[in-house]
Each structure stands twice: as structure tokens, then as C-alpha cells.
Structure 1
Amino acid sequence: MKTNTLFNTWIKYSVFVLALVLSSCSEDEGTGFVPGQDGFFIVNEGAWGNANASLSYLDKATGSVSNNLFETATGKPLGDQAQSMTIFNDQGFIVVQNSSKIEVISTLDYSLVATIDEELPSPRYFLGVDASKAYVSDWGADGSTGTIKVIDLSTYTVTKTISTGAGTNQMVLVGDRVYAANSGGWSYDNTVVVLDTNTDEVVATIEVGDNPSSLVLDQNNNVWVTGSGRSVYNEDWSLNTEESTPGFLAKIDTDNNTSQLKIEAPALGVGPSRLLVDATGETLIFKYQGGVYTASINMNIASANVQDFHNLFNDENIYGLGVDLSTNQIITGIAPDYTNPGSIKIYQIDGSFIEEHTVGIGPNGIAY
């Protein structure tokens, strides 16, 4: 996964989107595939530059995991650095960032539907807008010139490019508006942009904290955002504490597009990441300091601090994070290194461990 500094890229430090979500839900249950209830896909990012990304699937009926699903079904490798996957209209859109493409498969038989590989220099996340249109966030060839690409789902082509900010990352749909976090990419940003899906134009820019990356919509129609903060390094790669800023959790009021007072993380260089929401829409779930934490959306954010974060469990090898909304269970992607297969661990929402399955290299999220 690329981050906002070269140093962080090589140590594989994961900033928040988140997401995961990278957990993403279907807009249409379809006929042969029931999202979450039948099972879910696991996106295995692979090792950067090695073109060994893969796709796994957990079948709940059998309790088994099928690995290398994409290559087995299509006869070709998935590519280099699978960043995310989203299910939309009975199709799975797998965003493969370093291969500059999106592979589209049928969720009914896993066959290849299309490959979108033009005008996508560094794609990150897919968001279905309606039956005929989707948005894809993209970092640009330089890793900083963020855009959102408009995709015609009837032809699987890019029809428009919208300038949005540096390192545009995760997106969420709220009515006819899309909120997109500008994570900074290889540089820096501190904004969430709002797009009108009727005109495909940016209509608002909201300042939050430094390098926002992941966001979710809660049951009150508020958007929550996490960010890594800004890490500035000295010539010897030590952290410049005077110029660096802390990570954060912030809330956006979507009625007036204003950012509420944010909760800052106490340590520089470490912020909440991979933000998700549980099945009720009341509990935020995220990675923080080597563990998985929760927080209530009903906290008094004006006086809240990190003490309001509830630590469910810790595992230094957690890389990806997801929530199975059909069971309200938490799925962690475990990556002990980026050479050997990883695993997923499944937990109850209270943090109780359920089971573990072997998957591919660098599991970074789930999709259903």
C-alpha cells in the first residue's frame, strides 16, 4: 500500500482506509449471491512490485476458504497490489493499483466481465453511484495529483476526470453527494471534498485533519473520518516532532458540511485507520496502535478524547480490517510478512475470537 511518505511505503505502514475498506457492501443482492450471508471475498494485496496479489473467498456453508480464486476462474494473475474490492450490481470490482487497472468479475460464477485499464494511473477505491455510473478514486501518476474518475458501467470506460486533491482515497455516498477523503498520497492534504453526483462536480471542500484516509456513514447520516496526521522526517529519518501533526478522528455534519471538533491521537506518526461502522451504525471500529478499537457515535465529541476508545484486542500483525454486517463480526487481515500467506481472524463484536483461516499475501480487507 502506498502512503504519504516514501519511508512509510517501505515499512508498509497502513493509514486509515479504510478501509479496508476496506469492507464494502453490495447495492443489489442479486439472485445467485447473497452478500455477507453466503460468504465474503478477501482481498490479498500481495507484496509491492511482485505482482502476486490474489483473491480468496470464505464460504459460510462449508466454513472453508478458496484461495487464488481470480486466477483459477479467469486463467490470468490478478496483478500487482490489489488495493480494494467492491461488490456492485452482481459484479466485483477489484482495484489493482500498481497494475493501473480494475478487474471486473461476476459474483455468480467468478468469470471475467471486463478489464478497465485506461486513464487509471493509480486507482484506489470504487464506488457505485447508480446502475449506470461509478466513481473511482485515483492518486495520479505522481502519487499526489488526486482525481475521481467517472466510469460508464455500460461500456466500462472512463468518461470524465474530476480534480479533487492530493491522494484521493476512500469515498462514501450520502444521497446525491459523495464525500471523498484526500489522504495526501505521496504528499499532503487535509481535506474531504464533496461531489454532486448529478453534475459530477466538486461542490464543497471541508478541512478536517492532516492526511484523512478513511470514512464511513453512521446511522445519523454523519460522516466520520480518520487520518494519520502528517509525518515529517529529518535527514536521518528521525521524526521531526515540531513539524509533524497527530492522527485524528473527526465527524462531519452532512447537513451543513462542517467538520466537528476532532479527537487527536496522543502520539505523532500513529493515528486511527481502517475506519468501519458496525451493523447498527452506532459503533465505529478502527485500527489504532497495533489493536482494534471501538467508539460510540454518540460520544460527546466536544469533550471526547482517546480514553473513549475501547480496545477490543491487540495483534501486531493486523494489516487489514473488515466487518461482516450480516453477522456483525469483525474480520482482521493478518500479515506476518509480505512473502508468505497471511490469514484472516474472525471475532465477535465484543472482541471474542471465533476462528482463523489461511489466505493470500497481505490480506487488506473484505468485500461482499
Structure 2
Amino acid sequence: MFAKKWFCFLIILCIGTVLSSCDKPGMPYPDGVLGNGDIEALVLNEGLINTNAGAISVIYKDGKVVVDAFQDVNHRPMGDVAQSITMINGKYFVAMNNSKKIEIINPVTFKSEGTILYTQAGYPRQIVPISPTEAVVSDLNRQLVRVRTVPPYGKPLEYISIPRWVEYLVVAENKVFGMTQGGLYVFDADNIKKDYARIIKEVYNEEYTKTCQMLIDKEGMIWGLMYQKRSGVVTGITLKRVDPKREKVVESHTLPIGDPNSQTPGEIIGYINYNRTDIDPTGTWIYFNVKTRSAEANAKGEKEQQSVYRMNVDSGEFEHYYDLPEVGMMYGFAVSPEGDVYLCDCLDYTAQRGYIRHYLKDGSKVSHKVGVYPGQVYFPGNQR
């Protein structure tokens, strides 16, 4: 009798598990977790600090999710605080901030193909290639770190001290550009030295815009987002265009913020703490989020919401793109090659698994449960 009851309990448990989860169990395909090109997006999850919970989640076009592809394949954690994922030489390079290392991962099988371990203090953040065999890594420790991007990977090649810490980097015209609060630093890619650095003071980040990545448009120009201020009050969102050859600002466009007390639905009433930016695959449209007045009150009784605006790099004209009702502070933001908006929702930031909120162009929304603290969405099909 006991055995029969136990068997029934197991059957009920298994049925409940299937009904309550769309997660794919580890390794659903013998040739690798990506399968036959049916992937929608990858999500890089930071994971709670000091828990080795950094993970790559795979979202499939059928809605199913592999929560931690690296763990499933390699049978070990990827590391502590996954900061960024970059495709270089056909491999994923993942910066692990608190683990002080970079994991090199096969994009089809998700097997680890190498690890670059720091040999001195550092906190790797973003990685950009500077040649066919090397890349440079931004670091919170006021340094840039040069690494190999072909085997043997080994340890970092060089630690380069710089005056300020840099988060986001871009490479253009064989130069490395790094945004700081003091301005946009410029280094020659083949001679990255503190003594040879230049600075473009008109382009800089602030506390609330430090999460905005720099973008490169179809003409190879660099764009940075800042807030326009008058007497310490933010009055608009400004996008500045930098010519990397001349190392100077050549255009500036501002979207003004209206009356914060306006009751007109759709009115821009403020800026977002920790704004986000993205650009479409053609390099024509720059996306960012603002605060607008909503037509209906949310659960807190507030008539405000986040909305996505975009700017055309040819004309400098702004236009409303999408409303994001009931969205608070997002942890990550991306626009897919098809034009869908993806948000990283960490819920209440208590180390529980978060969600990707996928806003389709037809106005519908789909949610995918992923890892802890999702921070970056990566589209393998977007090779720009």
C-alpha cells in the first residue's frame, strides 16, 4: 500500500512540475543546447554576489528556456557576477566581475574553451576586440586590461593604468573610446597608454546615465546619451554624435522634457534613473527610455510610466516607439533585430530568479523566467 501511494505521489509531482514550468531540462539536444537555430535570445544573468550564480539563459522561439546552459554542459558554475557577453572570433567572451576572470565559451555547445584569470586586482566589465588576436577589457580598478582572443588564452597580457575607471567601450578608426564622468577618453588601439590618452570633455556620463552604452551608427559615428540641465534641473535628453576621426562632437540633438505636472497622456514628464540605450541592426535608430504621463493610474495610483523613444541618426528627429506600463527600474534593456523590446526584470532584488519581459510590436507581452538578476539580452542573429 505504501509503495502504491508513493508511486501516485511521484506521478502527481511530475505532472505538476511539467504544468508549472516551461524550463527545458539540461542538455535537450545531443549536439548542444542551441539545437537547430531555434534560439530567440540569450540572457546574461549576474547572479547574487558571492554565490557563483552567474548564468547564461537560453530562450527558444517556442517559449521554452534553459536557465543555466553553462552549468548544464560544464557541470560547474560559470562564476561570480556575470557582467557582459561579447562575441569575438566566433566565441562568447564573458566578463565575470567578482571572479576576476573571463570565460571563453563555444556558442553552439556552451562548453568552456578557456579561462583568462586575472593575476592582480581588477573587476572586468566590458570587452571589445582591438585586433584579430587581442581585446581590451574595461575595469572598475582604473585600468584597461589587454587579453588574447585566440588560443592559448592564458593570463592577461597587460594591465594599463588610466586616470578614471571606464565602463563602456567602443572601437572605431583603430581607436578605443571609453566613457567616464570626466569625458570621453580616446586611446590609440595599438598603443594604449595613459600618457597618450586624449579626452573629449563635451561627452560624459553621470550617475544616472552611466548605464547607457555608447553606440556606433551606420556611418561609423559614435553616439552618447546625456541629460541636458539648467540650474541643476534636467530639462531634456541629449544625444551627441562624435566623429572618431576628428575626435570631436559634430552633432547634438535634445528631446525636451515637458511639464512634470502635466496631466496630458503621453506627455514626457521626466527622465529615468539609470537610463538604457540600444541601436537597430541597420545603425539608423537609437532607442532609449523616458518617463511619460499614462492615461490610467497604475497599482500605486500613479499616472506615470516608462516609454521607449527613438531617434533617427540621419534626421535627428525623435519619435514615440512603445509604452511600458507597470515597469519600474529595469536592470537591462534591448531591442531585437525585429524591433521588439526586451526588459530585464529583477523583481524585488532579493536573489530570486528574474524575468525577461518581451514586448512584441503587435502590443502583446510575453514573460520568460530566467536566472538571478538578468542584466543583458543578446541576440545571436544580430551580427552588427
- The answer, yes or no, to whether TM exceeds 0.5 is yes
User: Displacement of 1:90 after TM fit?
Assistant: 2.3
1:196 aligned partner: 188
After superposing the two structures, state which structure 1 stretch, 66-75 or 292-301, moved more.
292-301
Secondary structure (helix, strand or coil) at the match of 1:345 reads strand
Q: Which has the larger displacement, 111-120 or 221-230?
A: 221-230
Shift in Å, 1:81: 1.7
1:149 aligns with 2:145: yes
Q: TM-score, structure 2 length as denominator? A: 0.70
Q: Which residue of 2 aligns with 1:205?
A: 199
Contact 1:343/1:358 (<8 A) preserved: yes
Q: 2:246 aligns with which of 256, 260, 265?
A: 256
Partner of 2:44: 43
Aligned-pair CA distance for 1:265:
7.4
The structure, 1 or 2, with the larger RCO (C-alpha pairs under 8 Å, 6+ apart) is 1
**TM-superposed deviation, 1:270:** 4.2
Tell me, in whole angstroms, the C-alpha distance in 2 between the residues paired with 1:127 and 1:35: 28
Report the secondary structure of 1:130's partner residue.
Answer: coil
Tell me how far apart the structure 2 counterparts of residues 362 and 59 of structure 1 sit (CA, whole Å). 19
Q: Quick check: 1:210–1:229 contact (8 Å CA) kept in 2? A: no
Which letter maps to 1:316? G
User: SS at 1:255's partner residue?
Assistant: coil
CA drift of 1:284 comes to 0.7
Query: 1:217 matched to which residue of 2?
Result: 216
- Deviations for 1:140-162, whole angstroms, at most 9, x for unmatched residues? 1xxxx2x2211122332311233
Q: Which residue of 1 aligns with 2:165?
A: 167
* Structure 2, unpaired ranges of 5+: 1-32, 258-268, 292-304
1:68 paired to 2:68: yes
**Equivalents in 2 of 1:36, 1:256: separation in Å?**
42
- SS of the residue 2:70 aligns to: helix
- Per-residue CA deviations over 1:42-94 (Å, capped at 9, x if unaligned) read 0011233443222101233x442111111121222223221111122221111
Identity of aligned pairs, percent?
20
Quick check: 154-163 or 32-41, which moved more?
A: 32-41
Which residue of structure 2 aligns with residue 275 of structure 1? 277
Change (3 A) 1:198 1:281: same
Of the three residues 299, 319, 324, the one matched with 2:336 is 324
What TM-score results when the alignment is normalised by the length of structure 1?
A: 0.72
- Unmatched tracts of structure 1, length 5 or more: 1-31, 183-188, 231-240
Shift of 1:346: 2.1
Alpha-carbon distance in structure 1 between the residues aligned to 2:93 and 2:189: 20
Distance (whole Å) between structure 2 residues aligned to residue 85 and residue 319 of structure 1? 15
CA RMSD of aligned residues (A): 3.3
Deviation string for 1:228-263 (max 9, x for gaps)?
799xxxxxxxxxx97787875322122321124464
Q: Which residue of 1 aligns with 2:21?
A: none
Given the alignment of the two structures, is residue 297 of structure 1 paired with residue 317 of structure 2, yes or no? Answer: no
Could you tell me how far apart the structure 2 residues matched to 1:199 and 1:35 are? 42
Contact 2:357 2:365 in 1 (8 A): yes
- Residues 333/209 of structure 1: CA separation in 2 closer, same or farther (3 Å cut): same
* Alpha-carbon spacing, 1:256–1:271, altered in 2? closer, same or farther (3 Å): farther
Task: Output the CA distance in 2 between the equivalents of 1:173 and 1:36.
Answer: 29
Partner of 2:135: 134
Change (3 A) 1:296 1:83: same
Contact 1:265 1:271 in 2 (8 A): no
Answer yes or no: is the 8 Å Cα contact 2:173–2:245 preserved in 1. Answer: no
